[in-house]
Chain A
Amino acid sequence: MTDTKKAKHHREPWVHIVKRDDLPWWKAWLIRISAIVIAILLVGVISTLLTKVSFLEVYEVMIKGVFGRLFEGGSTTMLWKFLQETAILLCLALAVTPAFKMRFWNCGAEGQALMGGLASMICMIELGDKLPYPVLLGVIFLTSMLAGALWGVIPAIFKAQYNTNETLFTLMMNYVATQIIKYYVYIEGGGSNTIQPVAAGNLPIIGDNRYLLNVIIVAVLTVGLFIYQKYSKQGYEISVVGESQNTAKYVGINVKKVIIRTMIISGAICGIAGMLLVAGTDHSINTNTVGGQGFTAIMVSWLGQFNPFIMVLMSGLVVFLRMGAGKVADTCALNASFADIAVGIVILFVVGCEFFIRYSVKFKHSNKEVKA
Chain B
Amino acid sequence: MGKPVAIELKNITKTFGQKVIANKDVNLIAYKGEILSILGENGSGKTTLMNMISGIYFPDEGQIFVEGQEAVIASPKDAFGYGIGMIHQHFKLVNVFTAAENIVLGVNDGRYNLKKSKAKIKEICDKYGFNIDLDKKIYTMSVSEKQTVEIIKVLYRGADILILDEPTAVLTPQETDKLFDILRNMREDGKSIIIITHKLNEVMEISDRVAVLRKGENVGVVNTCEVNPSKLTELMVGDKVELNINRTEPKNVADRLVVNGITCYSRDGVKLLDNVSFTAKAGEILGIAGIAGSGQRELLESVAGLQKLQSGEILYHNPKTGSIENLRDKTPMQIRNLGVRLSFVPEDRLGMGLVGNMDIVDNMMLRSYRKGKGMFLRRQKPKNLANDIVDRLQVVTPSVSTPVRRLSGGNVQKVLVGREIASSPKVLMVAYPVRGLDINSSYTIFNLLNEQKEKGAAVIFVGEDLDALLELSDRIMVIGSGRITGTVDARTATKEEIGLLMTKSEREREGDNND
Residues on A lying within 8 angstroms of B by beta carbon are 1, 4-5, 7-13, 16, 19-21, 231-234, 236, 239-240, 243-244, 246-247, 249-252, 254, 365
Contacts and interface: CB of A to CB of B under 8 A. Distances in A.
Interface residues on B, range: 35 or more
Given A1-B158, A20-B17, A250-B304, A244 B331 contact: no
B14 to A, nearest CB: 10
Interface of A is mostly: mixed
A8 B71 contact: yes
A250 B377 contact: no
Nearest to A230: B377
Contacts of A231: 376-377
A247 B74 contact: no
Contacts of B356: 243-244
Interface string B377-404: 1000000000000000000000000000
A247 B17 contact: no
A19 B15 CA distance: 10
A240 B366 CA distance: 8
- Which of A10, A234, A243 lies at the interface centre, i.e. has the most chain B CB atoms within 10 A of its CB? A243
Nearest to A241: B355
Interface in B288-313: 304-306
Interface string B331-346: 1110110000000101
Interface of B: 16-19, 58, 60-61, 66, 69-72, 74, 78, 81-83, 158, 304-306, 331-333, 335-336, 344, 346, 348, 351-358, 362, 365-367, 369-370, 375-377
B281 to A, nearest CB: 25
With most chain B CB atoms within 10 A of its CB, the pick from A11, A21, A250 is A250
A233 B369 contact: yes
Contact of A250 (B19, B69, B353, B362): B353
Contacts of B354: 247
The 10 closest A-B pairs by CB, nearest first: A21-B17, A252-B332, A252-B333, A4-B81, A246-B352, A8-B81, A243-B355, A251-B366, A13-B74, A250-B352
B257 to A, nearest CB: 18
Given A236-B377, A252-B332, A254-B333, A247 B353 contact: yes
A217 to B, nearest CB: 21
A254 B335 CA distance: 14
Nearest to B15: A18
A239 B365 CA distance: 12
B447 to A, nearest CB: 25
A244 B355 contact: yes
Given A12-B72, A236-B365, A19 B376 contact: no
Contacts of A249: 306, 332
A170 B376 CA distance: 30
Given A1-B158, A5-B81, A12-B58, 18 more contacts: A5-B69, A5-B83, A8-B72, A8-B82, A11-B72, A13-B74, A19-B16, A21-B19, A231-B376, A232-B376, A233-B376, A239-B358, A247-B352, A247-B354, A250-B344, A251-B332, A251-B366, A252-B331
A174 B17 CA distance: 46
Contacts of B333: 252, 254
Contacts of B355: 239-240, 243-244, 247
A365 B74 CA distance: 13
A16 B61 CA distance: 13
Nearest to A8: B81
A246 B72 contact: no
B366 A19 contact: no
B174 to A, nearest CB: 32
A245 to B, nearest CB: 10
A8 B332 CA distance: 57
A239 B71 CA distance: 47
Given A8-B71, A236-B365, A246 B82 contact: no
Given A8-B71, A231-B376, A233-B376, A251 B358 contact: no
Contacts of A246: 348, 351-352
Contact of A9 (B16, B69, B331, B376): B69
